[in-house]
Amino acid sequence: MRLSRYFLPTLKETPHEAQIVSHQLMLRAGMIRQASAGIYNWLPLGHAVMQNIEQIVREEQNRAGANELLMPTIQSAELWRQSGRYEDYGKEMLRVRDRHDREMLYGPTNEELITDIFKSGAKSYRDVPALLYQFQWKFRDEVRPRFGVMRGREFLMKDCYSFDADYEGAMAAYRKMFVAYLRTFARMNLKAIPVEAESGPIGGNLSHEFCVLADTGETELFTHRDLIDYDILDRPVDYDTDLRSIVDYWTSHYARTDDTHEQAVFEEQVPADQRVQRRGIEVGHIFYFGTKYSEPLEAYISTREGESVPVHMGSYGIGVSRLVGAIIEAFHDEAGIIWPESVAPFRVGLVNIRSTDSDCRATCDDLHERLQDAGISVLYDDTDESPGAKFAQMDLIGLPWQIVVGPRGVQAGTVELKHRATGERQELSPESALAKLMA
Amino acid sequence: MRLSRYFLPTLKETPHEAQIVSHQLMLRAGMIRQASAGIYNWLPLGHAVMQNIEQIVREEQNRAGANELLMPTIQSAELWRQSGRYEDYGKEMLRVRDRHDREMLYGPTNEELITDIFKSGAKSYRDVPALLYQFQWKFRDEVRPRFGVMRGREFLMKDCYSFDADYEGAMAAYRKMFVAYLRTFARMNLKAIPVEAESGPIGGNLSHEFCVLADTGETELFTHRDLIDYDILDRPVDYDTDLRSIVDYWTSHYARTDDTHEQAVFEEQVPADQRVQRRGIEVGHIFYFGTKYSEPLEAYISTREGESVPVHMGSYGIGVSRLVGAIIEAFHDEAGIIWPESVAPFRVGLVNIRSTDSDCRATCDDLHERLQDAGISVLYDDTDESPGAKFAQMDLIGLPWQIVVGPRGVQAGTVELKHRATGERQELSPESALAKLMA
């Protein structure tokens, strides 16, 4: 992609309304623009990152056996009255009346609707277990939306729902999502720690929050070094097997946020040299809530013995738009963002530092074409900005690799390959630079 | 994908509320369920088709040089007052007040917001041409929503917007989208005819509707056989060249719907043996409207000469959720849907007609794995339904190919490969069936 054809309105100054680093960097890097309070436009660079995150989440949901579907944003109030949550949600719920004066709402979450969908299509034990998920925008009308996409009003969430005949089945689903979440965040280079949590307005009996480590995070996290060191991607997971041992390993170690932390328990359970205290950000939340929705909404199935029972349910959320901010909180420096390769909007930034020079242009055009042919996504700065402005912008937007092409190098047959995360630079022939990126 | 693990609640009866064939088949095939009037849940099968359509549209937008971004669904009323459309839209616009009593709305289209985005990031002639697009849900509060996803209230649209320094630039953008639309629909096996059209509430000076042929379509279309026979995919398109000759070819032939058709003009311009009268469905609409939004919203850029001018704009829509219905209207028979391969939710249906037989199961399991390994998407009916029910369901959901595995064939070392569109069946070894699908 040529920068001259890409809509990337970066900013030189940090907008003063942005208090946290991810909000500042997303505005400066031309990833988002505020549309109204707590509601954002996702510009091409920000949208590309969000799509990459979404795709990782999708692949791991599918791997765990979940089916993707899509529910509408605007729902009828009716089901919410049946579940008893229509009044509970208070002013956070965006309520609407349509032209026929029917009460509607913008879904803040979807337990009611998915229960109704399951009920309309499932009758018996043959139809469970079922895991259904979607990516859909939600609206929660926060009093004071802030911190950019970290606490916006309109936000993208992956929400998955499980349906099982009994408690044991529901626990198996819960464990699948538990493991799928660990894998999902690990694929984004994030270290996620599951923390036992309160259920809040979703309700229920068992719940874990997933906090990812980030020095600038909002939450204080206390845990055992073993959890920090555990690499879930080290071994393949078979979701058809019992996942109890993995989940038990994680839940048997101390892991709490400042909400529930008890220093005495921490010190009793974790040896001093294993204690870890770090900042974190909540990016996922899983719930088991049994028959809380299936009973009032009458989602019953017949068992093998012919008995009619309400299904046992759980729900499993990941804040997709929030993750964009969380990843920046975890990976940035003074100069800007440092994207993990798996979510980077482009893998390579190609910088022509003298675009009026025909040799530089020929070298860049050729590298651009060969990178694209090799399936390596590249943003090619072909503009006539100054070298300093180009370098600063590339560091700001944080692509994992930069190839810098200048007249002196081109004379000598070399380009500079820079690794954004380490700052390491190498003078190489264009061929060697390509080979390194393809390795 | 094993059917036993896939949420596919097909119906045996045609729901009486569905009047047109696409609505009937989408309900019966377990693709959608109504959530409330004119608002649908997209179940896994329907969602998979919509994703495939979206991906084709995306690839062709990108090829034409458009940048993908994403605007929110909920917008402030403010910009709509500036453009003068806040009152114009009447009751079709879903209006909302947030908790602070601010006037908001659910976007029925996005000219105002995108103009504001462009304005915030673009200053001069260097920032044009720009083509920005998104896939986002829209809401239009129709008085009587009907025909399923063909005229729903919440619907998915691809909307693209062009920004240019002058009329000539805007025309070049218009031609790019004109050609991109022809390619997009052709890739879905649809024959699209661009028809000069009224601009309606978008406003403007020039506009074409894209109608795709379907015998059960809503619109009567009159055109020249040359347009029906023209295959846009026959030759590659270079969007950096002048596309005038392609567009002129299309617009120089008679093509009108019953709205604007004049029989005398038709007979004068088209020889009798070249006249074509067919049914069609509108699936896309492109507009050039000059400075209608850039002037009131003050989106000005400076020219090379330092003059400040309002940008010339166009907008370009494709009804993505509507296309799912339109494709079914174009491709179905008595037994159900017949998906074109490019949008099919799975390419192959694998039917085990005796799932209790261990040889049948072994053959199917092996085929399932080998198809997946070859990257061929497959829905494997591993349930214990009767053969008749399985055949009927496979025909209903319309996957392009079926592989039927039964005990007699397995004894003889053969399976049956059926082509859904032609009904053609062949007895083949499993290896030959695989080879045919991979060819």
Side-chain-side CA neighbours of A148 within 13 Å: the count stands at 28
Interface of A with B in 19-58 (CB under 8 A): 30, 33, 35-36, 39-44, 46-48, 50
- pLDDT tens for each residue of chain B, 439 residues long: 999 999 999 999 999 889 999 999 999 999 999 999 999 999 999 999 999 999 999 999 999 999 999 999 999 999 999 999 998 889 999 999 999 999 999 999 999 999 999 999 999 999 999 999 999 999 999 999 989 999 999 999 999 999 999 999 999 999 999 999 999 999 999 999 999 987 677 667 899 999 999 999 999 999 999 999 999 999 899 999 999 999 999 999 999 999 999 999 999 999 999 999 999 999 999 999 999 999 999 999 999 999 999 999 999 999 999 999 999 999 999 999 999 999 999 999 999 999 999 999 999 999 999 999 999 999 999 999 999 999 999 999 999 999 999 999 999 999 999 999 999 999 999 999 999 999 8
Interface of B with A in 339-378 (CB under 8 A): none
What is the model's pTM?
0.97
CA distance B91 to chain A (A): 6
Mutate to test the interface with B, among A3, A6, A74 (most CBs of B within 10 A): A74
> Do the Cβ atoms of B197 and B162 come closer than 8 Å?
no
- Four-residue CA torsion sign, B382, B383, B387, B388: negative
ipTM for the whole complex = 0.97
Residues of A in contact with B116 (CB under 8 A): 35
Interface of B with A in 213-232 (CB under 8 A): none
Distances (CA, A) of B27 to A116, A121, B41, B327: 16, 11, 11, 15
Comparing CB atoms, the residue among A69, A98, A154 nearest residue B72 is: A154
**Residue B70 to residue A41, Cβ atoms within 8 A:** yes
Residues of A in contact with B139 (CB under 8 A): 74
Strands (E), B141-217: 154-164, 192-196, 206-213
In this predicted structure, what is the pLDDT of residue B356? 93
In this predicted structure, what is the pLDDT of residue A202? 67
> Do the Cβ atoms of B120 and A9 come closer than 8 Å?
yes
Strands (E), B291-430: 300-302, 308-310, 312-319, 332-333, 336-337, 348-352, 378-381, 401-405, 415-419, 425-428
What's the Rg (C-alpha) of chain A? 24
How far is the C-alpha of B195 from the C-alpha of B209, rounded, in Å?
A: 5
Q: Which chain B residue has the Cα nearest residue A98?
A: B94
* Placement of tokens 């229920």 in the chain: A204
**Domain spanning A3-337: CATH superfamily:** Bira Bifunctional Protein; Domain 2 (3.30.930.10)
B66 token code pair: 């458009």
User: B429 — contact with chain A (CB < 8 Å)?
Assistant: no
- pLDDT tens for each residue of chain A, 439 residues long: 999 999 999 999 999 889 999 999 999 999 999 999 999 999 999 999 999 999 999 999 999 999 999 999 999 999 999 999 998 889 999 999 999 999 999 999 999 999 999 999 999 999 999 999 999 999 999 999 989 999 999 999 999 999 999 999 999 999 999 999 999 999 999 999 999 987 676 667 899 999 999 999 999 999 999 999 999 999 899 999 999 999 999 999 999 999 999 999 999 999 999 999 999 999 999 999 999 999 999 999 999 999 999 999 999 999 999 999 999 999 999 999 999 999 999 999 999 999 999 999 999 999 999 999 999 999 999 999 999 999 999 999 999 999 999 999 999 999 999 999 999 999 999 999 999 999 8
> Do the Cβ atoms of A339 and A327 come closer than 8 Å?
yes
In this predicted structure, what is the pLDDT of residue B193? 98
How far is the C-alpha of B35 from the C-alpha of B154, rounded, in Å?
A: 11
In this predicted structure, what is the pLDDT of residue A198? 78
* Placement of tokens 């045609």 in the chain: B14
Q: Which chain B residue has the Cα nearest residue A384?
A: B126
A39 token code pair: 């509601």
Mutate to test the interface with B, among A3, A31, A32, A39 (most CBs of B within 10 A): A39
B399 token code pair: 């996957």
**Domain spanning A348-438: CATH superfamily:** Anticodon-binding domain (3.40.50.800)
Annotated domain spans of chain A:
3-337, 348-438
**Residue B41 to residue A153, Cβ atoms within 8 A:** no
Residues of B in contact with A69 (CB under 8 A): 7, 41-44, 47
**Residue A65 to residue B5, Cβ atoms within 8 A:** yes
A235 token code pair: 């071994």
